[in-house]
Amino acid sequence: MRPRRSLRAKGDAAVSAARETVAWASRILAYYGHGDLTLGHVSIRAADRVYMKRKGVGLEEVVPADVQIFDLDGRKMDGDGGVHLEVPLHTEVYKARPDVGAVIHTHPLWSLALGAVETPLRYLAHDALLFPDGLGIFEETSDLITNVETGGAVAQALGSRRAVLMRNHGVLIVGRTVGWAVLAALALERAVHLQSVAGSLGTLVPIPDRGVPALHASKYREEFIEEYWEYWLRCLRRAGLNDGMPARPRERRSRGG
């Protein structure tokens, strides 16, 4: 009986850690300007389950108890509260991209603005270098993505990239882990903001395309993600935005996904 209890305890701990991860990631995104009322969501994939916040709470309000669990067909397996209509947006991306461990869909100002014009993202500084394959564009609809057909179409527009602009709607960003996905979401906002400011000052002078791969490899390394995640958590604590979240000893387990 002991092995069974041990395995169950490990399973319970993994579920708790996954829920904490989604809550922390949601708050980080809100802190950096991705909040929009109770809209927007981040999910992580753990084995064949998807963890995502419930409907009705803003990104900055999410606590672990707000995180629901779904299977890859979008059926809710656990969790209280209403379900976001755009669950298929997440599950269809996971089905199409086995390499993806986290999905973010938000409506941040600068990325939303870039999705409302024909201007491409330019490589002006390190933030844009996180997208060496550019950005996908989804133009089929500006409405909510509520079924597997349109969810699959978004996944197709994303392709093998890190991000896809959803025309006049928002942005969808993916990462191998939630740390990478959050970094990409924040970097894209900064990159577009910089591009807008630089364009107002004069003619843009981007980094030559031939230099992008090497600079990308230099500036974005796996060992940096842990450091960035811990920094984001410190920012939340200093700002008093960790209310309702676990005590500091558990925070180290919240970066996975």
Residue 253 has pLDDT above 70, yes or no: no
Query: Residue 93: CA atoms inside 13 Å, Cβ hemisphere, count?
Result: 31
Q: Pick 128 or 2 by higher pLDDT.
A: 128
CATH class of 2-250: alpha beta
Average pLDDT score over residue span 107-130: 97
What is the structure's pLDDT at 250?
Answer: 46
Tens digits of residue pLDDT in 160-208: 999 999 999 999 999 999 999 999 999 999 999 999 999 999 999 999 9
Exposed, middle or buried: residue 47 (CB in 10 Å: 0-12, 13-18, 19+)?
Answer: exposed
Residue 255 has pLDDT above 90, yes or no: no
242 Rama class: left (phi>0) / alpha (psi -120 to 50) / beta:
alpha
Q: Which residue has the tokens 């803003």?
A: 58
- pLDDT band at residue 86 using 50, 70 and 90 as cut-offs: very high
What is the structure's pLDDT at 11?
Answer: 72
Mean pLDDT of the chain: 93
Residue 162 identity: R
Average pLDDT score over residue span 227-250: 89
Query: Residue 220: CA atoms inside 13 Å, Cβ hemisphere, count?
Result: 21
162 close to 174: Cβ distance less than 8 angstroms: yes
Q: Which CA distances in Å does 225 have to 125, 215, 229, 238? A: 19, 17, 6, 20
Report the greatest alpha carbon distance in the chain: 71
